[in-house]
Amino acid sequence: MGAALGRVTDRKPRVAFVCTHNSCRSQIAEALSRALASDAFEAFSAGTHPADSVNPDALRLLRNVPGVDTARLRPKALDELPPVDVVVTMGCGVQCPMLPCAHREDWGLEDPTGRGDEAFLATMDEIERRVRDLAERLARSGLVTTGAHDGLSADAFKALADENRLAVLRMLSRADELCACELLERLDISQPTLSHHMALLTAADLVVAERRGRWTHYRLRRERVAQLASALGRLCGAGTAGPDETAPAAARKTLYLVGGPMGVGKSTVCRELSRMLPCSVMLDGDWCWRADPFQVTPETKALVLDNICHTLGNFLRCSAYDNVVFGWVMHERAIVEGILARLPVAECGARVRWVSLVASEKELRGRVEGDVSVGLREEGAVERALAYLPLYRELGSELVDTTGRSPREVAELIAGRRERFRRLTQAIEADAAAEPAWDPTVSDRDLLNAERVSRFD
């Protein structure tokens, strides 16, 4: 955290303490920071998979600390965070590359849960020491505000690099406020996928989120959007080429991440999808890890990730390809986030489509048992595949049910959804041009009924 980070001039730095469940260590850090360092920074906490409640032992012991207020402590998701300057992970291996910040550090704290009051008090003492140290370092160095001095921000452009998020901004531009339930209906996407999109927009300071009851409500930060537009205008300058003199825009790249348990058909679906998409190239993650004997160690896991990221990065940078298709198990969000953090997605202006293939337990069992019977998989593969299956419903990716569908039909479904998102954006733009005021009685589904051609919609 050096002088290169600049200095906050209009507000105190914001610090987010992040862990998996946001029930113990990160809650302690937020509470102690508010009590001990509120003059140095604003403290927040969140989890990648929030628990239902705060750890009762943590609450009980925090209430004994003078000046600590536990009334507002509750587990929160990442999309409830405001734009932050510092992200502190607590040591549970969580990764948040999609949470923009100016500085990131990991405290490597052991979870005291279930280990008695002595372990909790030792953890609280260590967190207090680290909070005071962080406050001193912030006071010495300061942090930059979100975005550069001219108003341009890579985080903002990354947040805009998706058709769904652009559609959200267009809808919010015609309404004072929209509830998450309204956005779900109009975009026709899953709630975890919407939460991911809104977290990026909120982190880029383009949208303001406010939780009221069960639902989160969103408003457009119009002054921030206007600032971006003005900064882009200044980049053009006087005497630059007009619209008719500019070169045609390069084709937009799309990276398809296709995950799913063994036996669900990832490799075959990816091959079909690659054949279906123009200017495409495919990588199967297992190609990067064919070894005899097959060994899973920290060294080999790091090796395969290096192989995957190197190859995908080259594919994205290559001008010959517009669509890059990657298939692998990817049963944990941290795996996907770790891969994306190392890819030149923003540099290449690429969209990311993250899809998880699932199937009914009966169908998945039948497919894997068939593979085992002909020697394609080892004994025990059925149990492993079925154990992984529920994990994909918690990732926040697009879910595609392969039950009763051929690999080509599944690939057509994925490609059809891509077309549907494109048509949705076109419909919203056409609606905006024809009628400035948004009619809440007409849904995007109504607007697209005459346009939809995919038999999977």
The DSSP code sequence of 11-72 is S--EEEEEESSSSSHHHHHHHHHHHHSTTT-EEEEEESS--SS--HHHHHHHTTSTT---TT
Q: Determine the length of the chain.
A: 457
Dihedral sign of CA atoms 98, 226, 15, 27 in order: negative
Decide if 92 is catalytic.
Answer: yes
Per-residue tokens: 419: 């077309």
Catalytic residue among 24, 92, 309, 348: 92
Please provide residue 203's backbone torsions phi and psi, each rounded to the nearest 5 degrees: -65, -30
The CA-atom distances, in angstroms, between 417 and each of 323, 399, 412, 424, 457 are 15, 11, 8, 10, 8
Token pair 């085992």 is at which residue? 372
Element (H, E) at 137: helix 116-141
Site of tokens 């069960």: 214
Tell me how many degrees the CA angle 350-352-354 measures, rounded to the nearest 5. 165
- Asked if 75 contacts 198 with a C-beta cutoff of 8 angstroms, the reply is no
19: annotated active-site residue = yes
Helix H or strand E segment including 173: helix 163-173
Q: How far is CA 409 from CA 109, 364, 413, in A?
A: 47, 17, 6
**Minimal CA–CA distance to 59: which of 67, 50, 51, 70?**
70
The catalytically annotated residue of 96, 101, 270, 309 is 96
| 96 is known as an active-site residue | yes
Helices vs. strands in the chain: H and E counts, helices first: 16, 12
Residue 252 is given by DSSP the state P
Beta bridge partners of 283: 326
Which residues face 351 on adjacent strands?
Answer: 254
- Residues serving a catalytic function are 19, 92, 96
